[in-house]
Structure 1
Amino acid sequence: MEEKSVVRFANRMDQLPPYLFGMINQMKMEKRRAGDDVIDLGMGNPMDPTPDAVIEKLIEVAKDPKSHRYPESSGMPHLKIEIAKYYKRHYDIDIDSETQTYFTIGSKEGISHLCLAIMGPGDSVLVPAPAFPIHIYAAVIAGANVMKIPIEPEKSFLDRIINICESCYPKPKVLMLNYPHNPTGVVTDKEFFKEVVSLAKRFKFMVINDFAYSKITFDGYEAPSFLEADGAKDVGVEFGSFSKSYNMAGWRIGYCVGNAEIVQALGKIKGYFDYGIFSAIQVAGIIALRDCDDTIPELANLYQTRRDVLCSGLERIGWDIKKPKAGMFVWAKIPEPFNKMGAMQFAVEMMDRANVAVAPGTGFSEEGEGFLRLALVENEERLRQAVRQMKKAMENMIV
C-alpha cells in the first residue's frame, strides 16, 4: 500500500496560481542555457546602473563592522528624515519622519505585510484591473475578498466604487490604487485623488497607493502623489520604491508614508517577520534621496526614448499602440488574427519563434486578456531587433 506524503499545504495555496514572472523567467533561462539570445521584455527589471555615489557609499559602509549588526528595522532616523524632505521637496507634503514613515524590503513586501495587518477573512478590498499580481494576491493571502474594478474609464471607476459601497454589506475595507499604473500605464491627476479621499471618508475605507513609478514620467506629465490630496493622510498610505527611480531593484528598499496608525500597524506585523534592511543599503538610500535628484530626469528621458522606439516599431508592423505617459512598460493590444490564440499562447510563441520574452496580459488577471506588457529595459537597438524578430515570427505563424 502506497504511503501518503506528509507534505500538506494551507488552503490558501490553492488560491495562488503559478507566479507569472517565475514561469517567464524559467522559459527564458532554458532558452539561454540552450544558447539562444533572448531579448527580455518580460519583467520590469532595470538593466541600467545604480548612481555611482550610491554604490560608493554602500561599499564604504559595508566595510564597517558596525553595519553588520541588526539594522534599524523601521528605517534609520536620517533615512526617515530624508524621505520626509523628499516629499516636501517634490510634492510640498509635510511628513512626520518618526510616526508617518516606515522603510520596507521593497514596496511589494511592504504592501504584502500591510495587507496581513489590516485585512482578514470577511474583509473586502477594491482593486483596479488588470492589476500587478501582488495587489490581488496579497489580499487573497490575508484571507480577504477581492473585488476587481476595470481601471478605465476613470469616471466609471469612481462610479463603480460608489455603487459597490452603496450596495454591499459589509462595505469594502480597503481601496488598492496604483498610479502610474502597472501594467497599463494609465495615469491620473490630483482631482482624482481628491475624489478618492472624499469617497474614503464617506464610506469609511482605507486607501493604499502603490507609487513605484512616481518619477518615470514622459511628455511633460508629472505624477501626483496621493498624499497631495487634502485629508489623504486621514485615510491612507503611499508606498514607494528605489527600484525604478534609482535603478536599485536588486537592493530591495522601499517605503511606506502617510497615516500614522496604518504605518504603525505595518511596523507591528513586520516586527514578527524581519529585522529590516541591511544598514549599508539604508545609508546608500540616504545618498540616493539626498544627492541623486538630478539622475531621475535623465533616467526618465532614457525610458521615454525607448518607449518611442518600441511604439513606433510596433506601429510600423501593424500594431495599434497607445503611448504611455509614465512607467517602464508598453501595454500592447495583440493584433488580429493573433489575439484569437490568447495572450499566454502568443507570449509562448514569441519566446519560441522570436526569442523575445514578453509578459502575457492574463498574468495581470483575466481583464488583461488580449494584451502584452512589454518592459522598456533593453537598449534601443535591442528593442528594434525585438520588433524585427516578432514581425518575422508572426509572418510564419499559422492561426
Structure 2
Amino acid sequence: MGAQQVKTTPSQRLQRIGAYLFADLDRRQEELRARGVDVINLGVGDPDLPTPPHIVEALTRAVHDPRTHRYPPYLGTREFREAVAEWFAGRFGVSLDPQQQVLALIGSKEGLAHLPWALLNPGEVALVPDPGYPVYRSATIMAEGEPYPVPLRPERGFLPALDEIPAEILSRARLLFLNYPNNPTGAVATVEFFAQVVAFAQRWGLVVVHDNAYSEITYDGYVAPSILQVDGAADCAIEL
C-alpha cells in the first residue's frame, strides 16, 4: 500500500494569528532589495552597532568553560539572579529577592509569549496596547484568551485610556500589557502614571506585564522608571 499524502491544516488558533508582522516586513524588504532598492529598515529593533568587546570576550570564555556545556538551573543560576537584583537596586532603587522575584529567560519574548499560558484561562481577556508588539496579541490567542485592543492616541501622549475600557471587558480581564518607553510610538511614562496603573490593576484584579525593553535607550535627560518602583506593584506587576 502506497504512502498517502497527509494534509496539514493549521489550528484555528494559528489561523487567527495570521502572518507574523516582522516576517512579512522581512519578505517585503528582500523583494525590494532584489529590485535594487536601498532599504532603510525601521522594523524590528535590531542593534546596528557591534556588541561591546568585553561582552564578546565574556561569552567566548563561557563557551570554552565545560561547566556551561550542560543544562542550567531552571530558574537561572544564583549568580545571575543576584546580579539582576543588584542591578535593579542600583538602577531603580527597587529591592528584589533574587530567589523569589527574579527569573532567567532566553529573552523577554519568551516571557511575553508564555505568560498568557500561565495566567489566562480560555476566554479570559488580555488588554493589549494598539499599536504594540505583535506577541502580546498572538500569545493571548495561542493561550485561547481574548485580546482586547486598547488604543494609544497622540492626544493622550500615547498612554492607554484605561478609563474608557468597558466594565464588561474588565470583569473578564486578567492581563494588562504595557511597554514604556514605547515601541513604536516612542512615548514615555512617569512613575505617577505607573502608580495609576497599579491602582487600576488592584481595583480590577489584573496582572500588569510591563515590557521594559527600552529602559536604557532614552534621550534629553529623561530616565525611564520601573513600574516596580510603585508601592504595591510587586504584588500585581511583572517586568521584563
Fold agreement, TM-score > 0.5: yes
The root-mean-square deviation of aligned C-alpha atoms, in Å, is: 1.9
Q: State the shift of 1:179 in Å.
A: 0.8
Aligned counterparts, 1:183-262, within 5 A: 183-239=184-240
Q: State the shift of 1:117 in Å.
A: 0.7
- Residue 49 to residue 75, structure 1, CA distance change in 2 (3 Å): same
- Residue 37 to residue 130, structure 1, CA distance change in 2 (3 Å): closer
Aligned counterparts, 1:137-156, within 5 A: 137-152=138-153, 153=156
Compute the TM-score of the two structures, normalised by the length of structure 1.
0.56
Q: State the shift of 1:12 in Å.
A: 0.5
- Residue 219 to residue 168, structure 1, CA distance change in 2 (3 Å): same
* Matching residue of 1:267: none
Letter in 1 for 2:96: I
Cα deviations across residues 280-329 of structure 1 (Å, max 9, x unaligned)?
xxxxxxxxxxxxxxxxxxxxxxxxxxxxxxxxxxxxxxxxxxxxxxxxxx
Cα deviations across residues 176-200 of structure 1 (Å, max 9, x unaligned)?
1111111111111011111111111
**Residue 157 in 1 paired to residue 158 in 2?**
no
Matches of 1:39 and 1:127, distance apart in 2: 28
SS of equivalent to 1:187:
coil
* Matching residue of 1:75: 76
- Residue 86 to residue 67, structure 1, CA distance change in 2 (3 Å): same
Letter in 2 for 1:26: R
Cα deviations across residues 56-80 of structure 1 (Å, max 9, x unaligned)?
0111121122211112232111110
Q: Which runs of 4+ in 1 moved over 6 A?
A: none
* Matching residue of 1:23: 24
**Residue 105 in 1 paired to residue 106 in 2?**
yes
Matches of 1:156 and 1:176, distance apart in 2: 10
Matches of 2:115 and 2:160, distance apart in 1: 28
SS of equivalent to 1:201:
helix
* Matching residue of 2:97: 96
Q: State the shift of 1:170 in Å.
A: 3.6
- The percent identity for this pair of structures is 37
Work out which of the two has the higher radius of gyration on C-alpha atoms and give 1 or 2. 1
Matches of 2:31 and 2:69, distance apart in 1: 37
Compute the TM-score of the two structures, normalised by the length of structure 2.
0.90
Residues 171 and 203, structure 1, Cα contact 8 Å, conserved in 2:
no
Letter in 1 for 2:42: L
Matches of 1:168 and 1:61, distance apart in 2: 48
**Residue 178 in 1 paired to residue 179 in 2?**
yes
Q: State the shift of 1:36 in Å.
A: 5.0
* Matching residue of 1:49: 50
Letter in 2 for 1:159: D
Q: State the shift of 1:55 in Å.
A: 0.7
More helix by share: 1
Cα deviations across residues 158-184 of structure 1 (Å, max 9, x unaligned)?
3124xx2x3447431111111111111
Q: State the shift of 1:28 in Å.
A: 2.3
Aligned length: 234
* Matching residue of 1:40: 41
Residues 128 and 149, structure 2, Cα contact 8 Å, conserved in 1:
yes
Letter in 2 for 1:205: L
